[in-house]
């Protein structure tokens, strides 16, 4: 049985993508070794499943369907910027999502259902949009200066009215995402 990489996500609208493009363009002027996330691939990950087969996909869809009827749509505020794991050792540059009770509740309910299917329960959830990844740079101070400039930037709001089970194909030109199923809130 063939397997595919899968994750559950919230898509980002064009207004947010345009704001993040401004942030990315400023970083690109540094001529550094950042690998930028394609704006069309920007998303907020709710759960990364890794490699699954069609049978596990069916179980995941059933689990999601148990949670969705009790979940109303909600808005997320996208603001701030930062890095993982820390400023001394930068691997990922991100844009933040302001803490939101509806998002946390949705995440916890889904995580509980996924745990019943054998997926590891997450210790904590850090909602963010990955903007770029970095392997090595000699422009760390300049990157941190730009991050500081966008630290309190308000990128906009996302109206969350659906979540999407996606397939991810890794290619030499980056990841290609395909929607497997859309769940309306």
Query: For 37-65, what is each residue's pLDDT tens digit?
Result: 999 999 999 999 999 999 999 999 999 99
Edge-to-edge strands, sheet with 128-134: 34-36, 128-134, 89-97, 74-86, 154-160
Contact (Cβ atoms closer than 8 angstroms) between residue 128 and residue 79: no
Domains in the chain, number = 1
Regions of the chain with pLDDT less than 50: none
Segments forming the whole domain that contains residue 130: 4-184
Query: Which residue, chain included where needed, has tokens 């302001």?
Result: 98
Q: What is the pLDDT of residue 137?
A: 82
Residues 6+ apart with CB under 8 A from 16: 42, 78, 129, 155, 156, 158
What CATH number did the domain enclosing 17 receive? 3.90.1140.10
Total-model pTM: 0.91
Residue-level pLDDT at 125? 87
Q: Catalytic residues, which ones?
A: 43, 128
- Record the tokens describing residue 29, joined without a space: 């002027």
Question: Are 89 and 41 within 8 A, CB to CB?
Answer: no
Q: What pLDDT was estimated at residue 174?
A: 81
């Amino acid at each position: 049985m063939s397997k595919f990489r899968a994750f559950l996500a919230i898509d980002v609208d064009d207004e947010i993508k345009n704001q993040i493009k401004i942030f990315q363009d400023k970083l690109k002027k540094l001529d550094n070794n950042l690998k930028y996330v394609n704006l069309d691939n920007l998303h907020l990950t709710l759960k990364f499943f890794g490699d699954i087969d069609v049978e596990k996909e069916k179980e995941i869809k059933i689990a999601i369907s148990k949670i969705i009827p009790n979940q109303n749509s909600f808005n997320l505020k996208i603001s701030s910027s930062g890095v993982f794991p820390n400023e001394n050792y930068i691997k990922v540059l991100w844009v933040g999502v302001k803490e939101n009770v509806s998002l946390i509740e949705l995440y916890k309910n889904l995580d509980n259902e996924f745990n019943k299917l054998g997926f590891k329960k997450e210790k904590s959830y850090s909602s963010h949009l990955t903007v770029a990844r970095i392997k090595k740079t000699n422009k760390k101070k300049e990157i941190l200066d730009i991050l500081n400039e966008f630290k309190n930037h308000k990128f906009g709001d996302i109206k969350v009215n659906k979540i999407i089970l996606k397939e991810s194909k890794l290619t030499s030109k980056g990841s290609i995402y395909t929607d497997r199923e859309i769940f309306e809130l």
